[in-house]
Amino acid sequence: MLAPQGLKCYFNAERAFRAPALRIPIPFSPARTREESPVSESENESGDAVAKKVRKPRLSKTAKPAADAPAEVVVHVDPEPAAPQRAERAEAAERTPAPNAQGEAPAGQDGEGQPQGGQEQRPRHGHQHNNRRDRFQHRNERNRDRFQHRNDRQGGDEGEGEPRQAYQPPQLPPDFPNYSLTELKRMPMHKLLEMAEQLNLHEGVARMRRQDVTFQLLKVLTRHPAGVAAEGVLEILPDGYGFLRSADASYLAGPDDVYISPSQIRRFNLRTGDHITGRIRNPKDGERYVALNVLDTINGEPLEHSKNKVLFENLTPLFPRRRFVLERGNGSTEDITGRIMDLMAPQGKGQRALIVSPPKAGKTMMMQNIAQAIINNHPEVHLIVLLIDERPEEVTEMQRTVRGEVISSTFDEPAARHVQVAEMVIERAKRLVEHKKDVVIMLDSITRLARAYNMVVPSSGKVLSGGVDANALHRPKRFFGAARNVEEGGSLTIIATALIDTGSKMDEVIYEEFKGTGNSEVHLDRRIAEKRVFPAININRSGTRREDLLIDPDMLQKIWILRKLIHPMDEIAAMEFMLDKMKTTKSNDEFFSAMKRG
């Protein structure tokens, strides 16, 4: 055992043996270089680590350590001058110019303080810069400044310091005459321009379409105390509202059409095809059409008389019993067509007749003669001539020769336009029949109408020969099948033409589909037309079903004897025989009297 003094000496010796090397206090100098540093190169840290050490806060030189012990030798390696201090970065960011319009950083800099390309700028100090609210606020400020600048420029043209005058709409003179909408639509274009000049409508009126000029005039004329009278045929659109179309424009939509609200349609139980008269009001701000304010009549009758009308589909169809007399008795060449049809293919009210004709056989002239005969002998009949896919010059000729309603859609119109016109005409005719009117539609031609329906209807996947869709002929058949004599009063007669021998398989298929649907057929022969014998009617193939209901027995017996006489003859010889006998007489009664004597 060692004495206590011995143990004390032992521990002191062991402590001295384990003690670290003596550290010599050396005064700190920050200007030491790398060569003076005792740190080996292997112990050098990377640039990022050194930068982290540099960023740590240091005590100032005047600060004294808490203890009086000498400062330890701590070697600080100065980093390379790559990363500036925070204060220096802030100053550099202030001196850095803003990026250009393309969002690129200035040349020679990294652009650390600005978003790079598609890089987003991160929020600082808890505030989100360039958020959605700020963007909309800045956008509104830009728009306000831009419009203010535009107004300043416009005001500068008028004169600085002068307030801009508000727009004053043209006023109607007190003694200005009152015009109806129908009169405006039928007025020549130069008259409309003169009226616009009287009403101080100068801005771009001369270069507008006719319908646009009429609409501009209506904006001023509707301020008249008596209002502006309007009329037209109603077309209800799928959205529930409708417009009044004009028959003079062939029911073509235009800016001068009168708007009918859905509430008015439900209140008065209006349908497509109703002829409406009333008064229109001044269009409000933002309205593109004039609206009907007061409704006066529906199909020529007061409002209370047209509420409880039986629908056309619920009427009872019958065979025609009242005859159309096509003979005018003047002995003219045009009268021969009507006289031959009265004998060989008589037409009645409610007839569904088909005129089968090859090209250039005189079907258009025949239609004109029939229309003129109906107008002269039956003025109570409402005649509508519907021309589908025809030439414009034929439309003009028909309008000038026939005193009736001529609706057309020429060959340069799309198929949808052909369909729209046909639907409007047939709906108009149905509404008239519901009011116990006799209506005649002369369609030229039903073959072109079927072609238009074939292009419009959606494809069903079933195609007949000639490229006709299986569902394409349903709507043309419904159009042609609407012709009927109604037991409750009124009738709808349709006389349509069908084309054959055109070289098209589709036309042959269409004719075969309509061949058995009519109750009267008139065939025109190409051989007779090539010999320039008109009308080129094939008498042996033409006829009417149940003609005994239209002709009295005595006249019917004479017609049968005439047919027996003509039947052995050739088509050309039979037609020449009829023309020779009829040119010497003025009526069919004289014709049979001459045959009885001879």
Residues flagged as binding site for ATP = 348-353, 360-365, 391
Terminal alpha carbon distance of the chain: 183
| Known binding residues | 348-353, 360-365, 391
Q: Are 443 and 496 in contact (CB under 8 A)?
A: yes
Strand partners, 537: 524
What lies within 8 Å, CB to CB, of 195 at 6+ separation is 187, 217
Bridge pairing between strands 491-499 and 438-444:
parallel
Name the token pair of 125.
């100090």
Q: Are 330 and 368 in contact (CB under 8 A)?
A: no
Per DSSP, the chain holds a count of helices (H) and strands (E) of: 19, 17
CA gap 528, 524 in Å, rounded: 8
CA gap 313, 296 in Å, rounded: 27
Q: Are 486 and 350 in contact (CB under 8 A)?
A: yes
The three-state secondary structure class of 515 is coil
Return the number of other C-beta atoms located less than 10 Å from residue 149's C-beta: 10
CA gap 524, 363 in Å, rounded: 8
Q: Are 228 and 280 in contact (CB under 8 A)?
A: yes
Q: Are 255 and 246 in contact (CB under 8 A)?
A: no
Residue positions counted in the chain: 598
Amino acid in the structure at residue 512: E
In three-state form (DSSP H/G/I as H, E/B as E, the rest C), the secondary structure along 111-143 is: CCCCCCCCCCCCCECCECCCCHHHHHHHHHHHH
Among candidate residues 501, 496, 498, 388, the one with its CA nearest the CA of residue 443: 496
Q: Are 230 and 181 in contact (CB under 8 A)?
A: yes
Name the token pair of 437.
């009117």
Q: How far is CA 272 from CA 8, 421, 429, 457, in A?
A: 127, 12, 11, 21
DSSP string, 232-270: EEEEE-TTS-EEEE-TTTTT---TTPEEE-HHHHHHHT-
| Omega before residue 445 within 30° of 0, cis | yes
Separation of CA 565 from chain center: 59
Q: Which residue is it, tokens 């009242």?
A: 322
Among candidate residues 263, 246, 266, 265, the one with its CA nearest the CA of residue 254: 246
The three-state secondary structure class of 72 is coil
CA gap 252, 421 in Å, rounded: 8
The three-state secondary structure class of 527 is helix
The three-state secondary structure class of 510 is helix
Q: How far is CA 76 from CA 20, 22, 60, 303, in A?
A: 22, 20, 15, 107
